[in-house]
Amino acid sequence: MKPKIIPKQETIPSFDPNAVAVKYIDYYNSRAAYTEDEITPEIISKILKEVYKGINVCLFLDPDGETDWMEVLSDGEWLYLARFRLYEKGKEDVYIFSYNPEYASTDAQIVEFDYSDKGVWTELLSGGQYMIPKIHAISDMESGVKAVEFFIRTGALYPGIDWIQEQ
């Protein structure tokens, strides 16, 4: 399947600012994890503030933290958002990433895996090991924070940024 760009929308639907769709939060490389009952407004506020400075966290819609989540990875300069939904049988897994159209021309260079090419790659490491290409990272932190909060509150992708779905 060819990658599908999901362009940003001008109209952002309203959402309940007190709702919480996320059922489990897990900080990568840390002992910090929160179950549904532990996810408070203070924890959400902390996460949103950390996006600006640097964060590596997974926000799960399933309470077991296994099959349905968004990875949020930031170093304060770049922000990578990745939406994963894994299925057991019968349906194809879903992989959707934040999309930076300014780096669309670097798409072909990604397959070369020349990680020294700073025009293609960020310093972000997904799972502590996989470098993130700039085409999948955004630098507009304000919009990124809105995308993270929208996902936390609704469990849906924020329509105010571009996304790309890959197989």
pLDDT digits (tens, 9 = 90+) for 94-116: 899 999 999 998 877 777 777 78
- For residues 57 and 27, the answer to whether their CB atoms sit within 8 Å is yes
> How many structural domains compose the chain?
1
Please tell me the least confidently modeled range out of 65-74, 86-95, 98-107, 126-135.
86-95
- Whether this model's pTM surpasses 0.85: yes
In percent, the amount of the chain with pLDDT more than 90 equals: 71
For 62, phi then psi, to 5°, come to -100, 140
The DSSP call for residue 139 is -
Cβ contacts of 29 within 8 Å, gap of 6 or more: 56, 128
Average pLDDT, the chain: 91
**Which single residue is written with the structure tokens 């700073």?**
118
Compute the C-alpha angle 91/132/54, nearest 5°: 110
- How does pLDDT run across 16-31, given as a tens digit for each residue? 999 999 999 999 877 7
For 21, the domain range is: 4-166
